[in-house]
Structure 1
């Protein structure tokens, strides 16, 4: 592992590189990012749905253990995920290597591409292929979506903070590991824990709530209200609780 002080510099460098990618690459990689997180969530539903509801902890652990494949693919194979960019571009901004305008444009671009990728998986793989269309899979999809929708705005923001505190740490550990196995383990456990706890991830919600909408169990207004507050929480969790705290602690100008 690199030291925390070294990880700060690596994270800043990665944030700068994210800004410098061509627009076409950002859109393609953002689509991949949204799709991969959604496929991780689809895997969660497929492996956990048949576990009885009275074994809720087991259900959560089993589902959470497969969810991290999405972020592993994004970070190791290539992809852009807004929650990760909140951390990486955020720390480059704190270090004055990236302007607020560059940060804002990057976040908007990647967010929109992530949403398209998530909707693609929800509609085509979940609804059209039918992987979340019936039986216990539909029941779990709707249950997960309603749990997220029913959260108050305060709960959604705080849950979003918890989520991206862990996702930001997954990036942090990935950047700090010196080999592929270390990177995979560094990503796996923080992501698994945020999912097992039940924290809300704005892009993952772009899969599960629209999935329920396509099945006739939620509305687009439900989705929009949830997304705004979870997204705000994700910004605070990734940019402040990871980038801000570690930059303040390890980067001395």
Structure 2
């Protein structure tokens, strides 16, 4: 059977986290660059579908294609290492330290951002014929997203910031569930199917994904969106990164680790009540 038991895929999560910490700088940057680029293309694809068909649901249904591809190709997203790497640290795997974990997170962040920024430039270029004409309908939509998801939060002050943070939490709760779900199966079709639902859910619900936003907001800035780099960092990227860390680690990584890798002993069965003396004597007669 292709199904993997929770205790086994939880061990696979810990193994994956340890492997990512020990990975070379070169490989970490290459794999994270490609992950950011592919996810940026997937977001551009989903938005194009939404604009051209008028169906946000259809765009969300198709978006997970990029996520599935980058996972199967072995590339790394910041949201994934937020969930997996701390488990190797908690499990006291050899060579895994706090410094190594932070190094991995920093390298993956840089790689994801570089990949997403590359695709952002390419999309801005092709939607304006080299910045010579006004952006087409897809480009206009990309600019609108940047404004609504920075200035839109800022209008509500602290409540807007908390809303942004919670959307980041919910996002990586779903995305990391997709990462873990892929470990539940040994078949490609099983991995793809289990990843599809949680990733589609996060995209359609408008939750905040730090790597997707590394594509969306720079694209919006290049296309003349009426928000600033500071707006993007303060009113989206930084709170989203923190929310993604909390969501993936607390609601996915730690819960699975505690209950499946550090399972408590089962409660003993209750003892049967002793048979009364009078009943034992009658049975003997």
TM-score, normalising length: structure 1? 0.93
CA deviation after TM superposition for structure 1 residue 35, in Å: 0.4
Counterpart residue number, 1:232: 242
CA deviation after TM superposition for structure 1 residue 135, in Å: 3.1
Q: Is the 8 A contact 1:202 1:230 kept in 2?
A: yes
Counterpart residue number, 1:121: 119
Matches of 2:53 and 2:135 in 1, distance apart?
16
Matches of 2:86 and 2:44 in 1, distance apart?
29
User: Which residue of 80, 83, 93 maps to 2:79?
Assistant: 83
CA deviation after TM superposition for structure 1 residue 23, in Å: 0.8
Q: CA 1:74 to 1:5, structure 2 compared with 1: closer, same or farther past 3 Å? A: same
Counterpart residue number, 2:136: 135
How many residue pairs match? The answer is 246
The structure with more radius of gyration = 2
CA deviation after TM superposition for structure 1 residue 131, in Å: 7.5
Helix, strand or coil at the partner of 2:183: helix
Write the deviation string for residues 210-244 of structure 1: whole angstroms up to 9, x where unpaired: 11100111311111111000000000011111011
Question: Structure 1: which 5+ residue stretches go unaligned?
Answer: 53-58
Counterpart residue number, 1:67: 63
Question: Structure 2: which 5+ residue stretches go unaligned?
Answer: 154-159, 264-285
Structure 1 window deviating more from structure 2 (199-208 vs 133-142): it is 133-142
Q: Is the 8 A contact 1:94 1:244 kept in 2?
A: no
CA deviation after TM superposition for structure 1 residue 136, in Å: 2.2
CA deviation after TM superposition for structure 1 residue 252, in Å: 1.9
Helix, strand or coil at the partner of 1:50: helix
1:144-163 matches, cutoff 5 A: 144-149=145-150, 150-151=152-153, 152-163=160-171
User: Which residue of 198, 205, 221 maps to 1:197?
Assistant: 205
Matches of 1:112 and 1:136 in 2, distance apart?
30
Q: Is the 8 A contact 2:42 2:66 kept in 1?
A: yes
Helix, strand or coil at the partner of 1:79: coil
CA deviation after TM superposition for structure 1 residue 160, in Å: 0.4
The reply to whether residue 174 of structure 1 matches residue 171 of structure 2 is: no
Q: Is the 8 A contact 2:127 2:138 kept in 1?
A: no
TM-score, normalising length: structure 2? 0.83
CA deviation after TM superposition for structure 1 residue 208, in Å: 0.6
Structure 1 stretches of 4+ with a deviation exceeding 6 A read: none
Helix, strand or coil at the partner of 2:145: helix
CA deviation after TM superposition for structure 1 residue 94, in Å: 2.6
Matches of 1:40 and 1:72 in 2, distance apart?
10
